[in-house]
């Protein structure tokens, strides 16, 4: 108990230590170690198949790890006795495919979890939904259904849905990969706003320019390992040939 309190008040929100994970014979995470301090933005970059999504999913226990340790907001994620739903109240996750619930209005999408999980009253949840939508610039879409929104708007609504749960850390997995440049811009602006508000974030991204401007830390993954780890400066002056090559070839 004291353990949890200590870490929770400490500066580290997410910590992976020597994490290993295989899918069958395929080794996907091969001793991954990194941590994220409160208020920091960590960008994970790397080639397709290098294990970025898997690492992110392990943080929210969408994948279980074979060995190593993951501590998130003071909770031992690798512990089989983890209170999964408590973890997921602390962690917000947004995927590439927005995954809004198609049969619910944007407002209902956002109020669902606070009312069901936290027991927030309907009226208060609606108030929070309004605030979250204002934050992502979608106030006028509150009564719309997801299919009436553009991809960028749906993604922003998905971010608002996560924010309404007041998470302590947000995970983003290539949230702009399905969007054209203009829509990408509007989603990235929302994420910038979150960073400015001090939200702790871990994001997998292929937007190098964006990573350069927003990241406090950068993790370059290569063949299941953290191949290079540093500040955003590594994106301009990489120290390993692999990262240099990755950046040189663009994606």
- Please give the residue ranges that form the binding site for Mg ion (CB under 5 A): 53
Q: List the single partner that 93 binds among ligand ATP, Mg ion, another protein, none, CB under 5 to 8 Å by kind.
A: another protein
Whether the CB-CB separation of 222 and 242 falls below 8 Å is answered with yes
**The total number of residues written for the chain in this structure:** 251
Residue 245 DSSP SS3: helix
User: What gap in Å lies between CA 27 and CA 48, rounded to an integer?
Assistant: 14
Burial of residue 110 (CB within 10 Å: 0-12, 13-18, 19+) is: buried
Stretch that binds ligand ATP, among 6-14, 50-58, 103-111, 118-126 (CB under 6 A): 50-58
Stretch that binds ligand ATP, among 8-16, 47-55, 148-156, 193-201 (CB under 6 A): 47-55
Q: How far is CA 115 from CA 7, 121, 124, 146, 234, in A?
A: 28, 6, 9, 20, 43
Whether the CB-CB separation of 92 and 56 falls below 8 Å is answered with no
Q: List the single partner that 85 binds among Mg ion, another protein, ligand ATP, none, CB under 5 to 8 Å by kind.
A: another protein
Per-residue binder mask for ligand ATP (CB under 6 A), 54-83, x = binder: x-----------------------------
H or E, element range at 34: strand 26-37
User: What gap in Å lies between CA 57 and CA 97, rounded to an integer?
Assistant: 15
171 binds ligand ATP per the rule CB under 6 A: no
- Which is nearer to another protein, 165 or 187 (by Cβ)? 165
Burial 115-134 (b: 16+ CB within 10 A, else e): beeeebeeeebbebbbebbe
* Binds ligand ATP (CB under 6 A): choice among 16, 34, 40, 53: 53
Burial of residue 191 (CB within 10 Å: 0-12, 13-18, 19+) is: buried
Beta carbon of residue 239, minimum distance to another protein (angstroms, whole number): 35
* Binds ligand ATP (CB under 6 A): choice among 40, 52, 167, 200: 52
Q: Which residues of the chain form contacts with another protein (CB under 8 A)?
A: 60, 62, 85-86, 88-89, 91-93, 95, 97, 99-103, 105, 112-113, 116-117, 145, 147-148, 158, 161-162, 165
Q: Could you tell me which residues come within 8 angstroms of residue 10 by beta carbon, excluding any fewer than 6 positions away?
A: none
Q: List the single partner that 168 binds among another protein, ligand ATP, Mg ion, none, CB under 5 to 8 Å by kind.
A: none
Q: List the single partner that 54 binds among another protein, ligand ATP, Mg ion, none, CB under 5 to 8 Å by kind.
A: ligand ATP
- Which is nearer to another protein, 105 or 184 (by Cβ)? 105
21 binds ligand ATP per the rule CB under 6 A: no
- Count other Cβ atoms within 10 Å, centred on residue 37: 15
- Which is nearer to ligand ATP, 30 or 108 (by Cβ)? 30
The residue ranges that bind ligand ATP (CB under 6 A) are: 23, 26, 28, 46, 48-54
């Amino acid at each position: 108990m004291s353990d949890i309190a200590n870490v929770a008040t400490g500066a580290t929100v997410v910590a992976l230590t020597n994490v290993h994970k295989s899918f069958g014979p395929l080794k996907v995470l091969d001793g991954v170690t990194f941590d994220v301090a409160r208020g920091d933005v960590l960008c994970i970059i790397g080639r397709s198949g290098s294990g970025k999504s898997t690492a992110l999913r392990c943080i929210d226990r969408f994948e279980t790890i074979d060995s190593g340790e993951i501590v998130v907001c003071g909770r031992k994620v690798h512990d089989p006795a983890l209170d999964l739903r408590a973890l997921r109240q602390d962690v917000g996750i947004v995927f590439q495919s927005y995954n809004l619930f198609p049969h619910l209005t944007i407002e209902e999408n956002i109020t669902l979890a606070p009312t069901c999980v936290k027991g927030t009253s309907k009226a208060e949840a609606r108030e929070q939904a309004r605030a979250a939508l204002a934050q992502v610039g979608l106030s006028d879409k509150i009564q719309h259904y997801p299919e009436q929104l553009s991809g960028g708007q749906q993604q922003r609504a998905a971010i608002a849905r996560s924010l309404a749960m007041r998470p302590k850390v947000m995970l983003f997995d290539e949230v702009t990969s399905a969007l054209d440049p203009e829509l990408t811009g509007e989603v990235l602006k929302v994420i910038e706003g979150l960073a400015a508000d001090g939200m702790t974030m871990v994001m997998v991204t292929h937007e190098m320019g964006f990573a350069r401007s927003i990241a406090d830390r950068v993790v370059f993954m290569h063949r299941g390992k953290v191949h290079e780890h540093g500040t955003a400066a590594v994106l301009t002056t990489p120290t390993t040939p692999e990262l240099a090559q990755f950046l040189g070839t663009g994606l």
